[in-house]
Amino acid sequence: FVKPTDAQFILDGIHHQFQLGPETMIELTRQFLEEFKVGLGNYNHPMAMIPTFVTGVPNGTETGTFLALDLGGTNMRVCEVVLHGDTTFTLRQQKYKVSDALKTGEATVLFDYLADSVDAFLTSHPPPSGHSNRDPFAEPTPDVVHLGLTFSFPVEQTALDSGKILTWTKGFSAKHAIGNDVVKLLQDAFDRKHMHVKCVALVNDTVGALLSRAYTAGGCMLGAIFGTGTNGAYVEDLSNIRKLANDPAGSRGGLMVVNTEWGAFNNSRSHLPSTPFDNALDRTSINPSFQAFEKMISGMYLGEVTRNILLSLVDAAPKSLLFGGKTTAALNAQWGFDTSVMSGVEEAWEGKDSKNSTGEKLEPEVKARLERVRAVLVKDLGFKDADVSLRDAAIVRWASSLVARRAALLSGLAVATVLIQTGRAVLSNQGGKPTKNEPKIGVGVDGSLIEFYPHFEETLRESLRILVGADVEKRVDIGMAKDGSGVGAALCALQAIKQL
């Protein structure tokens, strides 16, 4: 028998599972630092800590014209980037869809498609004459266009222009790619089509965010992505990258950008507080037990975790707690509830447009807020108006905010780990003092989640205050690395041709 209080008991139980207390967060950060250290010394750890062979960050004076190709998110992009040398740039770009058939088919078919897209771009956006010759250090073959590839998957990089694909993430699983050099796969496709394009640099989107933010802001120490997936790249002392100790690049001293691949934090899930809703997502994903941290954080997954909560409430026995037991095709389908719907629900709840004629924000009535949330659910999930009560709207908003808040707190944990690792902060309650005390700590970010999800950055900062204190948090300067992958790839291509 269900007593009247049992509904609340079920909701409270779910609420409780998604809470992250300060002690848990501090312990998780300690584990995060441990995994950083293991990854820096070892090539076979899920937290891959990949040396990128990028040995410095720009200061905004760089010049040149480059092509950039970006694969790894929801869309594939080809762009032409002109760096003006005064922290500004011009970018022309075209997006191309990558179908599921391409993502999961033969790698050569995928790379032929990439080459065809670059070809189509060059036809519709012909390069100015002397395209790559604008850089005074470059001596390219005439008519060869230099391209930087932003490839946002784990790669074991061996030079600026080569790297072996370690594993696919984010819904990709193209065959006969793992273990191969991604630059060679792309260059072979260009060569098969007799194109005058040379891929000179391989860069991760996080490295792109770091470099482009450094170019436009005059400095940056961390690039972080909170979009389809999540990852971060930061500037590390070469002496800490122990796995490069026997590599000529490692013995030089100085700095190198490390691509952390932090989405794989705690793949063993021994510490992350997984709920049954996370477990259901993981079990039915194409990469069970990989990318554990990413699955609690990023745009590809948050909607699915929330959908699992909502379905458990629809199916609650003996009496449904949501939508009168009804669902829709969207809600029934795996990945059918997109993270952008959660964002829409939160925006509807906040009522961003509810200002009076003088521009002053009005406090909307709860009922009016819930009406707006209901309208989002009707529009985006395909419900009939009559099937969604205001109580249902309140429950969906509650579930969305639980999942999103946990994601933003965990995101702060990754940023805090980099601050501690680089000596800019110490972990709360652990004693000691930071070795660096800069007035401004630059962090370049990219991704729809941090750009559009209401309060994401605010909650991330709350997490930083818990983990490293308010003094450090307020010096952290978080800025969007707009067009980071394109501009980052261009900056990396520039660094590469200087070395040719």
Footprint on residues 318-357 left by ligand ADP (CB under 6 A): 338-340, 343
Structure tokens at 472: 């450090």
Q: Nearest 5°: phi and psi at 80?
A: -110, 125
- Tally of CA atoms within 13 A in the half-sphere of 345 that contains its CB: 27
- Give the nearer residue to ligand ADP in terms of CB position, either 244 or 297: 297
Among 208, 447, 484, 486, binds ligand ADP (CB under 6 A): 447
Residues with Cβ within 8 Å of 431's Cβ and at least 6 positions away in sequence, in order, are none
Of 413, 371, 420, nearest in space to 392 by CA: 371
Residues with Cβ within 8 Å of 207's Cβ and at least 6 positions away in sequence, in order, are 52, 54, 223, 233, 257, 259, 488, 492
- Give the nearer residue to ligand ADP in terms of CB position, either 240 or 340: 340
Footprint on residues 132-171 left by ligand ADP (CB under 6 A): none
Question: Smallest gap, in angstroms, from Cβ of residue 415 to ligand ADP?
Answer: 17
Place of tokens 């707009």: 482
DSSP secondary structure letter of residue 242:
G
Among 51, 73, 163, 484, binds ligand ADP (CB under 6 A): 73
The 37-56 contact track toward ligand ADP, x by CB under 6 A, reads --------------------
Terminal-to-terminal C-alpha distance of the chain: 75
Name the segment binding ligand ADP (CB under 6 A); options: 101-109, 120-128, 236-244, 445-453: 445-453
Alpha-carbon distance values, 259 to 137, 141, 223, 276 (Å): 27, 31, 9, 31
Question: Smallest gap, in angstroms, from Cβ of residue 229 to ligand ADP?
Answer: 6
The 277-316 contact track toward ligand ADP, x by CB under 6 A, reads ----------------------xx----------------
Please tell me whether residue 401 binds ligand ADP under the rule CB under 6 A.
no
Question: Smallest gap, in angstroms, from Cβ of residue 346 to ligand ADP?
Answer: 9
Please tell me whether residue 232 binds ligand ADP under the rule CB under 6 A.
no
Question: Smallest gap, in angstroms, from Cβ of residue 225 to ligand ADP?
Answer: 6
Please tell me whether residue 453 binds ligand ADP under the rule CB under 6 A.
yes
Among 25, 155, 449, 478, binds ligand ADP (CB under 6 A): 449
Contact between 151 and 120 under an 8 Å Cβ cutoff? The reply is no
Please tell me whether residue 400 binds ligand ADP under the rule CB under 6 A.
no
- Give the nearer residue to ligand ADP in terms of CB position, either 236 or 483: 483
Question: Smallest gap, in angstroms, from Cβ of residue 74 to ligand ADP?
Answer: 4
Please tell me whether residue 74 binds ligand ADP under the rule CB under 6 A.
yes
Distance CA 25, CA 454 (A): 22
Q: Which amino acid is at 356?
A: N
- Give the nearer residue to ligand ADP in terms of CB position, either 95 or 252: 95
Phi-psi map region of 351: left, alpha, beta (phi>0 left; psi -120 to 50 alpha):
left
Name the segment binding ligand ADP (CB under 6 A); options: 18-26, 103-111, 281-289, 444-452: 444-452
Distance CA 23, CA 294 (A): 21
Q: Nearest 5°: phi and psi at 328?
A: -125, 170
Q: Which amino acid is at 307?
A: R
Please tell me whether residue 228 binds ligand ADP under the rule CB under 6 A.
yes
Question: Smallest gap, in angstroms, from Cβ of residue 452 to ligand ADP?
Answer: 3
Please tell me whether residue 457 binds ligand ADP under the rule CB under 6 A.
no
DSSP β-bridge partners for residue 259: 50, 233
- Give the nearer residue to ligand ADP in terms of CB position, either 152 or 422: 152
Of 395, 373, 401, 398, nearest in space to 459 by CA: 401
DSSP secondary structure letter of residue 145:
E
Question: Smallest gap, in angstroms, from Cβ of residue 409 to ligand ADP?
Answer: 16
Name the segment binding ligand ADP (CB under 6 A); options: 119-127, 137-145, 270-278, 447-455: 447-455
Please tell me whether residue 240 binds ligand ADP under the rule CB under 6 A.
no
Among 140, 227, 442, 484, binds ligand ADP (CB under 6 A): 227
Distance CA 440, CA 219 (A): 10
- Site for ligand ADP (CB under 6 A): how many residues? 15
Of 161, 158, 257, 145, nearest in space to 202 by CA: 161
Alpha-helical runs (H) found in 169-275:
182-192, 205-217
Residues with Cβ within 8 Å of 449's Cβ and at least 6 positions away in sequence, in order, are 226, 227, 297, 298, 299, 302, 339, 407, 456
Question: Smallest gap, in angstroms, from Cβ of residue 271 to ligand ADP?
Answer: 25
* Site of interaction with ligand ADP (CB under 6 A): 73-74, 227-228, 299-300, 338-340, 343, 447-449, 452-453
